[in-house]
Structure 1
C-alpha cells in the first residue's frame, strides 16, 4: 500500500480543516448577528457559485448584496470549502443553492448554521444522468437552459421578497425583465437551428453537461463521458462518439472550458467533423474574460453551437 501515507495525510488535512471550520462557526455564533460579512447595511445573499451569483444580482438589483463562495473559473463539482467560506455562510442572511446534488461539498458544512436557504432549481423538470455510476441521478446542470433559469429567477424573487418584503415588487419586476432577455436567447437559438436536417441536430460534447440546453434547442445530446472524473475518455467512449458522428454526418463537435479537448480532437481526426469551439458551463470568467455574466455565457454557447452546426449560414 505505497499510497497509504499520502492518503492518510490527505484525510488528516481535511479533518483539521473541518475542525477549524467548526471553531469558526462556534466563534461566530457566540458573537451573534448576521450581515457582518460586509460593510454594507444591505442584507447579504451568498450563492454557491458564480453563475447563481450573477443571476441573483440581476434579480436583486441594488437592494441586496450578492456574493459567491467560489471564484470565477472554479471547478464546482469537487470544491472543498475553507474556514473563510464557512465564516461567510454563518454571516449571510440567505444562502442560495442550485440543488440536484450539486452542492454536497458544502451542505455538510452549513447544515448546522441558523441561516435560511433557498433551492433555486425547485420546479425544474429534472433530467437524469444516463450512464456510468451516476445513472439515474439528477443532472445538476439545470442552469444550462434559458427556460430553467427563468424558473431560477422567479424562485430568487420569491426568496428575496421574504428577506426584504418592502422590495418584493422590484424583485418580481427585475425577474420578469431578466426572463425576457433569456427568452430572446432561446428563441434566436431555436430559430437558427431550425434549418438543420434531422441527423445533424446533435450536440456532441466532452461531458454530459448540456442535457437541458440540448432539450431547449431541440437537439440530441451525445457526449464522451457523463460526468467529469479523475480519469476520463476511455477508448470505448471515444469510439462510440466517433461512430455516432460518422453515422449521422454531424458537422461539428464541442468541448467545455474546464477540461482538455484532446479526446474530442480524436473524434475530429477520425471523422472530419469540425471542432466547433469551447463551451462554458460551471463558472463565469473574470470581468475581462469571454463570459463575465450568465447572459454572456448562454449567448456565447448558443452562438458557438448554432454557427458551427449550420456553417454560419443560419
Structure 2
C-alpha cells in the first residue's frame, strides 16, 4: 500500500471519531500553519475550533503530513491555506483526506511579488524590481477549489509525483503576510469563508474582522515609524532565507539571504561566497537567524564578515505562547524592533 493510500485509510477511520467529538455549534477550521491560525482565531473568536497543521516554530516548506492531519482536513468545515505553492504538502493531503470542505487560499486578492528564487544569487541583479513586478493575485491563478471539494490544479502541480514534495515555489513569492496590507486581505478572506460556512454567525465574524483590522492599521503605522528611525544607509541586513521580500517592498529595508524563498533550497559554497562579497560591497548593518532554520550558515557568514548576529527573526511561523512572537502582531513588532535594535544598538 502506498504512503498516500495509507494516509487516506487512516484519515477515514480517524475522521469518524473526530466528527463525533466535534462541537455541533462551532465551525471546524483547519489552518495550514500558525500565522493563519492566529488570523482565524481573531476572526472566529469562540465560534470556531481551530486545528493547526504546522505549529509554532514549524517549517511548512519541509513539513510531512500525518494521518491525524488528514483526519482533521477530512472533518473540516473550512480549510485555510496560504496558496502560492507555499504548502508543498497540500495537494497530497487534501486528496488523502477526501474532504468536501472549501480550501480557501488567503492570498487571493492580495498584492503579490514575483519570486526571486531562480535568480537569487546572480550578484547585483539577484533582487527583482518588486515595484515593477507586483501583481494582484486573482482567483484561479494557481489552482481553484470548488465547493464540492474537487480540485483543479495547474500543470506544474498535476505533474508532481508523490515523492516530489513540491517545495519549489512557483512564479510568485508566497510570503505575502509580511505586508500588513496583505494581512488585511487574509483577514477579509477568512471572514468571507466563515460567513459562507456559517451565515448565522456572519455578523460576529465581520465585527471581529473589523476590530482586528483596526489593530493591523495601528501596527502598520508603528512599523513605519520604527523603520523611519533607521538611517537609510544602514538598512541592509542578512537573514537565512528569502522570506522578507514583502517587508522589504513595503517598509524600505533591504534583505539579503543565502537561500531562496524555500528553506528546501540549500545554498552552495559559491552562493555563500557571492553573498559574502555582496555583504561587503553593500555594507550590511546586521545579520539574523530565523526561528525555522538551522543557524549554522548564518553563523558562518557572520564569522567571515565580522557582523555580529543581531538576534532571531520570525519568518514563516510564530513562536510558542511564551515566546516573543506568539501572535502575528507580536511577530511583526518583534521583527522590526529587533532589526532596529541590532542596527542602532538600542
TM bracket, shorter-chain basis: 0.7 to 0.9
Aligned to 2:249: 215
**For residue 201 of structure 1, what is the aligned residue in structure 2?**
235
| CA deviation map 1:136-183 (0-9, x unaligned) | 622111122222111101110111111121222221221122122222
Deviation at 1:80, TM superposition (A): 1.6
Structure whose alpha-carbon radius of gyration is higher: 1
Is there any run of 5+ residues in structure 1 with no aligned partner, and where?
1-11
Residue 61 of structure 1 aligns to a residue whose secondary structure is helix
SS where residue 185 of structure 2 aligns?
helix
- For the 8 Å contact 1:55–1:153, the answer to whether it is kept is yes
Determine the structure 1 residue equivalent to 2:131: none
The question of whether the paired residues in 1 share the 8 Å contact of 2:286 and 2:310 is answered with yes
Aligned length, in residue pairs? 296
**172-181 vs 148-157, greater mean Cα deviation:** 172-181
Picking from 290, 294, 298, the partner of 1:256 is 290
The residue aligned with 2:8 is 22
The 1:124–1:166 alpha-carbon spacing in structure 2 relative to 1, beyond 3 Å, is same
Q: Find the counterpart in structure 2 of residue 310 from structure 1.
A: 344
Cα offset for 1:60? 0.7
Q: Answer yes or no: is 1:105 the counterpart of 2:78.
A: no
Q: Secondary structure at 1:66's aligned position in 2?
A: strand
TM-score w.r.t. length of structure 1: 0.84
Q: Does 1:179 align with 2:213?
A: yes
Are 1:130 and 2:132 matched, yes or no? Answer: no
Bigger RCO of structures 1 and 2 (CA < 8 A, at least 6 apart): 2
Structure 1 CA distance for aligned equivalents of residues 11 and 307 of structure 2 = 53
Distance 1:139 1:220 in 2: 16
- CA–CA separation in structure 2 for the residues paired with 1:169 and 1:231: 44
Question: What are the residue-to-residue correspondences of 1:226-265 with 2, within 5 Å?
Answer: 226-229=260-263, 232-265=266-299
Is the Cα–Cα contact under 8 Å of residues 242 and 256 in structure 2 kept in the other structure?
Answer: yes
Which has the higher mean CA deviation after the structures are superposed, 136-145 or 89-98? 136-145
- Partner of 2:155 in structure 1? none
Can you list the C-alpha shifts for 1:262-285, whole angstroms capped at 9, x where unaligned? 322333233333322111122223
> What is the DSSP-based 3-state SS (H/G/I as helix, E as strand, rest coil) of the residue aligned with 1:48?
strand
Contact preservation (8 Å) 2:115, 2:172: yes
CA distance in 2 between counterparts of 1:104 and 1:136 reads 11
TM score, norm. by length of structure 2: 0.77
Q: Distance in 1 between matches of 2:296 and 2:336?
A: 22
1:179-213 alpha-carbon deviations (Å, 9 max, x no partner)? 22222222222222224343322232110011111
Cα distance in 2, alignment partners of residues 36 and 110 from structure 1 = 21
1:120 paired to 2:154: no
- The 5 Å alignment of 1:73-112 reads 73-111=57-95, 112=98
What secondary structure is seen at the aligned counterpart in 2 of 1:207? coil
CA offset digits 1:72-98 (Å, max 9, x no partner): 332211212122211111111111111
Note if contact 2:84-2:169 (Cα within 8 Å) is conserved in structure 1.
no
1:247-304 Cα shifts (integer Å, max 9, x gaps): 2322212121122223223332333333221111222232223322222222211211
CA contact (8 A) 1:207 1:255 kept: no
SS of the residue 1:123 aligns to: coil
Q: Is the contact made by 1:189 and 1:306 (CA closer than 8 Å) also made in structure 2? A: no
Q: 1:181 to 1:306 in 2, by over 3 A?
A: farther
- Say if 1:131 and 1:54 are closer, same or farther in 2 by CA, change over 3 A: closer
2:257 alignment partner, SS class: strand
Give the alignment partner of residue 183 of structure 2, picking from 138, 141, 149.
149
